[in-house]
Structure 1
Amino acid sequence: MTMFDVTAPATGQIVGRVADMTGDDVVAAVDNLHASQGDWADMAVTQRVRWLHRYRDWLLDHEDALAKLLQDETGKPWAEANLEIPYIVEAINYYGRLAPGQLRSKAVRRHGPLALGKSQMLRWHPYPVVGIITPWNFPLGLSLLDAVPALVAGAAVAIKPSEYTPLTVCAAVRGWAAIGAPPVLSVCTGGAVAGGALVDSVDYIQFTGSSATGRVVAHRAAERLIPCGLELGGKDALIVRADANLDRAANAAVWGAVANAGQMCTSIERVYVHADIHDRFVSLVAAKVGELRVGCDDRRYRFDVGPLTTAAQWGVVSAHVDDALRKGARVAGAGRVPSCPSSSNLYPPIVLVDVDHSMSCMRDETFGPILPVMRFTTDDEAIALVNNSRYGLSATIFAEDVELAHRMAHRLDVGAVNINDVFANLFTLALPQGGRGESGVGTRNGSGAVYKYCRPQAVVTARFRPRREPTWYPYAPLRGAFVHRVSRILGARDVIRQFCR
C-alpha cells in the first residue's frame, strides 16, 4: 500500500504519513464493518452507550496529545485546537442520554377505522454501515460529531477524513480499538478514489464539504438509491441594526469572521450595518482586527489567528480580495502578518468597505479571514440582501429590540438564526443544524440525529383473528355498505355527513 505525507500548514514540514487507500482497500474495510455490525446492533442500547462512555474517557485521557496533533496538521491556534475534543465529549454525553429512550420499541396509538382491530409497534433498525466524509477545517470534531449518533444507533462507521488532515482522526480511531471496543469504527485514508469507493460501498453517506463535491456525492448516492446527508458551503450574514449594542456586535463580527482563520461553513462572510451606525461600527471592527495576533502558534496561546490550511485556499481568499479592490472596495483595517516561513499560508484578517453584491466576496464562499461590510437603510432591505444568496446555512442579527429581531429571523431563508450572538447554534446540540439551497440537504445534531441513521420498521399485529376481515374477499353488497358506513361515521365530524347520504 502506498503512503502519502501530511504537512503542517504553519511550517510546511512533514508531520506524518498515512496510507493512500485504493478503492479495493476501502471496500475491504467496509466489508469488515458489515461483518461486525450485526453483533453491535444486537447489543442493548445501554451497552453501546457504555462503550461510548469508555471512549469518552479515553478521549479525555489523551486530550492533550490529540490537540497537539490536530494543531500540527491544521495550524490552528492552541485555543481553537483545544475546542474539538470537549465538543465531542458533550456529544457523547448528550446522545448517550437520549438514545435509550428514543430507540426503544414503542406501541403507536391506533387511528382510523381500519386500524381499530390492530396493535401497532414502531421499531428502529440502524443502517448497517455509515460512511462519513469530512473536510480539513474541523477534522476530528466533524468526524466524530456524526459518528457518535450513528454508533449509538447501532451502525458501524467508516470515516474518510480530508487527505490534508487525517492524522488526528486516525489517532482517535486507534483509541476506539485501544479500549477493546467491537471493531465497528474504522478510518479510510486517501483522496478522491477512497472517497468515491466509500460512497459506492456503504449504506448511508454523510458528507461535509463544498457544494460542488456535495453534488457529486448526492448523484452517486442516488444511483445506488442510498440516503445521504449533505452539510455544504455557506455565506453567512450578520445584520447590525441601529439599536444594536455596537461593542458586542463588533466583537462578535470579528470573532465570527476570523475564528479558525475564517475557515468555517458558518463564518460571518458578509455584514450589513444600518447606515446611521456604519462608520462607528467599521471603526470598531477595524481597530479590533488590528489588535489580533496573527501567526503560527505553539501551546502558549501566543496568537489568535493561524494560517489557512492549504495553499489553494490562500489563493481563493486572495482572489476574492483582489476582485473586491478592483471593483471599488477599500481596506478599512487589517491585521499584521509576522515574519514566518514562506510556506505558512498566513493571511491577514481584512475589513473591506464599499462592497456590493457584484463582488465575489459578497456572493461566493470565501473561507478566509475577510470581513466585508455593507450599508442598509431599512430592515426590509437588510432581509432582502441576506436572502440574495444561493446559500442558506445560518445568519446573525444584532438588535436591542429582540421581538423585532425574532420577526426578522422568521423572514430569513436560512437554517439557523443567532440573535445577539454568533455561532451559538453550533454549540446547542439539542437543536438541528442544517442549511437551505446550496448549503446542503438534511441536518445534524438535535433529537433527530440518532433517528437519522436508522430505518423505521412498522409492525402491525391483528388483535382479533376471525376467519376473514370485513374488507377481504369475497366482496358483497351488505358487508361493503357496512364497512363504508362505519368508516364514514368515524371519519366525518358532523351528524349530517355521518348519516345523511
Structure 2
Amino acid sequence: MTATPEVASSGKTATTGTIINPATGDVAGRVQWTDPADIPAIAAGLRAAQRGWEQRGPKGRARVLARYATWLGEHRDEIERLLIDETGKSTVDAAQEVPLAIMILSYYIKTMEKALAPETRPAALPFLAIKKITVHYRPRALVSIIAPWNYPVANALMDAIGALAAGCAVLLKPSERTPLTAEVLLRGWQESGGSDVLALAQGAREVSEAVIDVADYIQFTGSSATGTKVMERAARRLTPVSLELGGKDPLIVLEDADIELAANAAVWGAMFNAGQTCVSTERVYVLEPVYDEFVAAVVRAVKALDVGAGDGKHFGALIDEAQVAVTERHVNDAVAAGARALTGGKRPSGPGSFYPPTVLVDVDHSMAAMTEETFGPTLPIMKVATVAEAIRLANDSPYGLSAAVFSKDVNRAKDIAVQLDCGAVNINDVISNLMCTTAPMGGWKTSGIGARFGGADGIRKFCRQETVVVPRTSAGAGGNYYNNSLKTLTRMNRLMTTLALARPKRTLKGTGT
C-alpha cells in the first residue's frame, strides 16, 4: 500500500511521505509533498514561462517534444523498474506505458502545426462573402492535469503532451499513491531542454483543490464520484473541464464468433493490469448457443495465468488494500446471491495486495459485480438468448466508456456497435481504441465529459477559439449602421431576409413539403 500525505499534530500536512510497493511491502521511495499554499506561486511561474513557450510556435515546440520522446525511449528501463516498484505491476503491464506515450508524441509532432494553423471558414450566404473569416486556436495559459494511479506514465503524458503541443503550461498533480514516476517524467522534460512550463504538485485532496483553483482548464482522470467533485469545484470559476471517469465495459459474443479469440480477448481485457484499467472488460454477454464453449475457453486461459509482480508474471498486485476490498465485496456478494466462481474467488494467503483472476457465472444485474465498477481481476459472464437482449443489458448501465463485439460477420458487429451507448467500440478486439491516436477517447453518461487525445481535437481542446473577421472590400461597409436612413435600413433587412430564406425554400420545394 502506498502512503498518502499525513496530517501532523500541528494540523499541517507532513512534508514528506514514504511510498510502499503494494506487492512486496518494500519501500519504493520517498516524496516531498507540496504545500497547497505554494501552488499559486507555482502557477504564476508557469504562466510567466508559458508566454515564451507559446511564442516558439508549433515547429519550435515540436523540436522539444521530439527530444523528450527520445529521452523517454532511452530511459524506458529506468521508468519501468520504478513503475513496478511503485505500483506492484508485472513486467508485462509496466512495459505498455512508455511506448504509448512515445506513440502519442510521435503523432502530435508531425500533426501539431496543421492542427493549430488558423482555419479559413466560408461565408454562410453569398452576400457575406465580403468578409474573410478565420478561426485561430490560442492556448489556454495553464492546464492542470489530475492523473490517476493505475497508469502513472500513460495517463499523465497522454494529456500533458497535447497541452504542451498546444503551447500551454502544465501543472501535473499525480496520484498521491504513485508520485515517484512523475518526478522522473519531469526530470526528463528538463533534461530534454524543455522550458519551465511543466511542474508538479504532489499531494492529496487539498493539493488537488488548489490545482483546480489556479487552472484555465482541467483534465481529470479517475472515478465518477471524484470527477463530480472536480467539476463542482471548477464551476466556482467557470473553468472548463475534461473528465475521463469510470467504466463497466461490456463485451458481447455472438454465436458466430471465433470463440478462442473472444475468450482470450476477454481474459486479457479483464485481467490486464490486474483489472485496473478504465476500459477493461468488466462484464460479458454470450449468446446461448456458444455460452458453454466460451466459458470453457475462458477458464482454460485464466488457469494458465501466473500472478505476481515483476518478471515472468501476467499481472501484478492491486494498488492497495482498499482496491482489494472492493473486488472481494463484489465477488462475495455475487456468490452469496447465487453466482459461481469457476476460478479464484478467494484472496490468497501471503503478503501483497493480490487477488486471483476470478471467473464468475450465473450472474445477473442484481449483483454489484455486473453493475458497479470493480477495477479488479474479475470476469463475470452472463448467458443471453438474443442479440437484442445483449444490447439492452450492455446499455443498462450508468457508465458508457467503451465496449467490444465479437462476430465473424464484421458488418453485423458494426450494426450492433452503433447501438451501444458508449464512446468507443472495438470489434473482434478489446482496448485497441487506446492505440488509435487519430480518434477521440471519451465516455458517455457518468463515464465522462469530453475526450482525450484524438486527432487535431486532442490539441485544440486545450485552446480557446478566436474568430477574426476581416473585410475584403470597403463596399457596403456600414450598410446597417444607425447613421443610414430608415429607408436604407429597411431595404437592407428585407434583402438579408430574402437571401437567407432562399435555401430553406429550395429545400422544402425539393422534398415536396
CA contact (8 A) 2:331 2:345 kept: no
3-state SS of 2:421 partner: coil
For 2:19 and 2:505, locate their aligned partners in 1 and report how far apart those are by CA, in whole Å.
76
Q: 1:286 aligns with which of 299, 308, 319?
A: 299
| Alignment pair present for 1:320 and 2:333 | no
- CA-CA distance at 1:80 after TM superposition: 1.5
1:98 aligns with 2:111: yes
Question: For 1:231 and 1:289, how far apart are their aligned partners in 2?
Answer: 29
Cα distance in 2 between the residues matched to 1:87 and 1:296? 21
Measured against aligned partners, the alpha-carbon deviations of 1:22-77 in whole angstroms (never above 9, x if no partner) come to 21122221111011111111112100000000111111111110110011101111
Q: Is the 8 A contact 1:294 1:336 kept in 2?
A: no
- In structure 2, the residue matched to 1:472 is 481
Aligned partners of 1:134 and 1:143 also within 8 Å:
yes
Aligned residue for 1:446, secondary structure, equals coil
- Secondary structure of the structure 1 residue equivalent to 2:207: helix
Residue 189 (str. 1) matches residue 199 (str. 2): no
Identify which range, 166-175 or 148-157, moves more after superposition: 166-175
Distance 2:477 2:458 in 1: 42
Counterpart secondary structure, 1:356: coil
> Do the aligned residues in 2 keep the contact of 1:238 with 1:268 (CA within 8 Å)?
yes
* Residues 290 and 335 in structure 1, CA contact (< 8 A), matched pair in contact too: no
What is aligned with 1:391?
Answer: 399
**1:306 maps to 2:316:** yes
> Residue 410 of structure 1 aligns with which residue?
418
The reply on whether 1:459 has 2:468 as its aligned counterpart is: yes
Cα gap change, 1:236/1:496 in structure 2, threshold over 3 Å: closer, same or farther? closer
SS class of match (1:443): coil
Q: 1:220 aligns with which of 233, 242, 247?
A: 233
The one-character-per-residue Cα deviations of 1:367-415 (angstroms, maximum 9, x if unpaired) are: 0000001010111100000000000001101111211111111111111
Q: Give the drift of 1:335.
A: 8.7
Q: CA RMSD in A?
A: 1.9
Amino acid in the other structure paired with 2:124: H
Following superposition, the deviation at residue 19 of structure 1 comes to 1.5
Q: 1:373 to 1:468 in 2, by over 3 A?
A: closer
Question: Residues of 2 paired with 1:392 and 1:338: CA distance?
Answer: 33
| Secondary structure class of the residue paired with 1:110 | coil
Aligned equivalent of 1:363: 371
Moved more, 404-413 or 205-214: 404-413
> Structure 1 residues 371, 39: closer, same or farther in 2, change over 3 A?
same
SS at match of 1:493: helix
Deviation at 1:251, TM superposition (A): 0.3
Q: Secondary structure at the match of 1:434?
A: coil
Q: Percent identity?
A: 43
Cα distance change on mapping 1:493 and 1:115 into 2, 3 Å: closer
State the 1:461 CA deviation. 1.9
Determine the C-alpha separation between the residues in 1 that align with 2:259 and 2:69: 40
Structure 2: 5+ residue runs without aligned partners? 1-13, 507-513
Q: CA deviation at 1:178?
A: 1.6
- Counterpart residue type for residue 453 of structure 1: F
Task: Give distance in 1, aligned partners of 2:388 and 2:494.
Answer: 54
- Counterpart CA distance in 2 for 1:317 and 1:467 is 70
What residue number does 1:441 align with? 449
Give the Cα separation in 1 of the matches to 2:213 and 2:424: 32
Q: CA deviation at 1:143?
A: 0.2
The corresponding residue for 2:342 is: 332
Decide whether aligned partners of structure 1 residues 200 and 114 sit closer, same or farther in structure 2, where only a CA change above 3 A counts.
farther
Confirm or deny: 8 A CA contact 1:287 1:333 kept in the other structure: no
8 A Cα contact 1:30 1:201, kept in partner: yes
Deviation digits for residues 124-153 of structure 1 (CA, Å, limit 9, x no counterpart): 110101000011100110000000010010
Mapped contact 1:292–1:335 kept (Cα < 8 A): no
Q: Which residue of 2 aligns with 1:381?
A: 389
User: Greater shift after overlay, 241-250 or 95-104?
Assistant: 95-104
For the Cα contact (< 8 Å) 2:92–2:315, is it kept in 1? no
